[in-house]
């Protein structure tokens, strides 16, 4: 089909892909927007849950909210490290929250006293996330294209890929756990809290 309107549309789309600055700015904005959505939803999933309930493991569901949020703190700090920031979380949190992936025999602790308060977990998550967003905003395009060896390198081989995984995919996996925990505990859906009516 030789429709002039289609030709203009296709040309502008190709220019958008081929112009590095436009592409990289779009990619950065996609990373940041999705990350902010995940962060806001994380807060909504736990804001109405009393702190003392956040270590309950209903029906053998081991990843309770305190562990899950702490794990996201650790993951977000690792994302910052990928972009040049020093990995730094409060003392004792790394041992409590960091995991080696599937097959890690260490299960989340059930003792409430071993965990920080919910408000402290969310505060540090927010702080680490703000740092990551600033780093994404200022990262050089060449850095996003760098190859990086890790456990999912065969799917996502570059730094930009890992950022997408950490900010979108990994975080979403754990949001799903929080949402399932809410259901098992009898709380209603939190997703409606972030949607425009």
Domains of the chain: 27-194 (1.20.120.450)
How distant is the alpha carbon of residue 66 from its chain centre? 16
CB 37 within 8 A of CB 146: no
Residue 99 has pLDDT above 90, yes or no: no
Whole-number Å distance between alpha carbons of 70 and 133 = 19
The two three-digit tokens of residue 81, written as one number: 């490290």
Q: What is the pLDDT of residue 9?
A: 36
Residue 24 has pLDDT above 50, yes or no: yes
Q: What is the pLDDT of residue 27?
A: 84
Whole-number Å distance between alpha carbons of 135 and 128 = 11
Instruction: List the one residue out of 74, 49, 47, 69 whose CA is nearest residue 177.
Output: 69
Residue 18 has pLDDT above 50, yes or no: no
**Average pLDDT over the chain, rounded to an integer:** 87
Contacts 24+ apart (CB under 8 A), 93-98: 96/67, 96/70, 97/67, 97/70, 97/71, 97/73, 98/71, 98/74
Q: What is the pLDDT of residue 21?
A: 67
What average pLDDT does this structure show over 141-153?
88
Q: What is the CA radius of gyration of the chain?
A: 19
pLDDT band, very low/low/confident/very high, at 98 (cuts 50, 70, 90): confident
HSE value, Cβ hemisphere, 13 Å, CA-based, for 71: 23
CB 184 within 8 A of CB 61: yes
Q: Which pTM value belongs to this model? A: 0.86
């Amino acid at each position: 089909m030789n429709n002039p309107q289609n030709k203009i549309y296709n040309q502008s789309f190709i220019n958008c892909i081929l112009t590095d600055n436009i592409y990289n700015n779009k990619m950065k904005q996609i990373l940041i927007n999705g990350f902010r959505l995940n962060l806001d939803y994380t807060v909504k999933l736990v804001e109405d849950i009393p702190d003392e309930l956040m270590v309950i493991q209903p029906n053998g569901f081991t990843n309770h909210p305190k562990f899950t949020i702490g794990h996201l703190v650790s993951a977000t700090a690792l994302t910052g490290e990928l972009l040049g920031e020093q990995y730094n979380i409060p003392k004792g949190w790394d041992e409590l929250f960091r995991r080696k992936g599937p097959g890690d025999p260490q299960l989340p602790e059930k003792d409430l006293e071993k965990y920080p308060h919910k408000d402290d977990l969310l505060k540090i998550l927010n702080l680490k996330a703000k740092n990551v967003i600033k780093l994404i905003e200022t990262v050089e395009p060449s850095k996003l294209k760098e190859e990086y060896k890790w456990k999912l390198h065969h799917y996502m081989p570059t730094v930009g890929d890992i950022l997408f995984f950490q900010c979108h995919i990994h975080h979403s996996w754990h949001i799903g756990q929080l949402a399932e925990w809410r259901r098992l505990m009898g709380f209603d859906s939190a997703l409606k809290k972030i949607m425009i009516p």
